[in-house]
Amino acid sequence: MENPDAHHEKRKTPNVGLTDILIAAGVAILLGAGGVFALSFLELGRVSLIALSQVAVYVAALVGIVAAVGVRRIGLASLGFVSTTWKWILIGVGIAFASRMLAFIIVPIYILITGDSSNPQQGLFEDLIAGSAFQIILFALAIGVLAPFAEEMFFRGMVFGWLRKWGFWLSAIISAGLFGAAHGINFVFPASFALGLLNAYAYEKSGSIWPAVVAHMTFNGMSLAALLALSQMDIPLS
């Protein structure tokens, strides 16, 4: 495998600092919490509230990232929003499938070692799959589109970009670990960590965030498609 640090010398390191990360996180938390709080006053059913809250949280995250970019004038190119090739787009799709295959191996190992098979997302998925077509569309928008953009911009574009000056592997492992932890310390963590690590490598090698976004969209899309298929066949999700 080619040394990523050698490849890194060929392109400019993203001009992202800790201040940018703190601005993005602060704005996202404030707006996200405010949005969810405001939604709680509306006469919404449980499923609609969950779906709209998911959308609000990820929109808030995107606004926070854009705010950091605007305030600091670092530009979206510093987060990897530069053109790429179809080859790398297809590699992004391949990364999603590779991450799924890795999950089939590492998740059972995680459960065997820790004895923890809890999945806090289980109830969320069951509630939303049982919802209306519109509610499912909202959830698909949040998880299939908004989440990949927001999370890749933050964890790869900002966190990995900031840490990159300390070497590829350290920055990739830390950013992937934070990405995994954001999904909870449960059996989702190792699968998320694997995806984060592969996405960091794709970002590093391609010089563009697009392959990672495509990988993330495909990965989440496969989860949603599987859940919908299981629900249509009346197969329990647990």
pTM: 0.89
The whole-angstrom distance between residue 236's C-alpha and the CA centroid of its chain comes to 26
Cα distances from 146 to residues 5, 12, 54, 60, 225, in angstroms, run 30, 27, 9, 10, 17
- What's the rounded Cα separation, in Å, for the pair 167 and 180? 20
Query: Per-domain residue ranges for the chain?
Result: 4-232
Q: Which long-range contacts (CB under 8 A, 24 or more apart) does 220-226 make?
A: 220/143, 220/144, 220/147, 220/148, 221/144, 222/96, 222/97, 222/100, 223/143, 224/139, 224/140, 224/143, 224/144
- What's the rounded Cα separation, in Å, for the pair 95 and 193? 13
Written as tens digits, the pLDDT of the chain (238 aa) is: 555 554 554 445 457 899 999 999 999 999 999 999 999 999 888 888 888 999 999 999 999 999 999 887 888 899 999 999 999 999 999 999 999 999 999 989 988 998 888 776 666 667 666 778 888 889 889 999 999 999 999 999 999 999 999 999 999 999 999 999 998 888 889 999 999 999 999 999 999 999 999 999 999 999 888 777 766 665 555 5
pLDDT reported for residue 84? 95
Whether the CB-CB separation of 95 and 73 falls below 8 Å is answered with no
pLDDT reported for residue 13? 47
Whether the CB-CB separation of 74 and 16 falls below 8 Å is answered with yes
Whether the CB-CB separation of 197 and 172 falls below 8 Å is answered with yes
The amino acid sitting at 161 is G
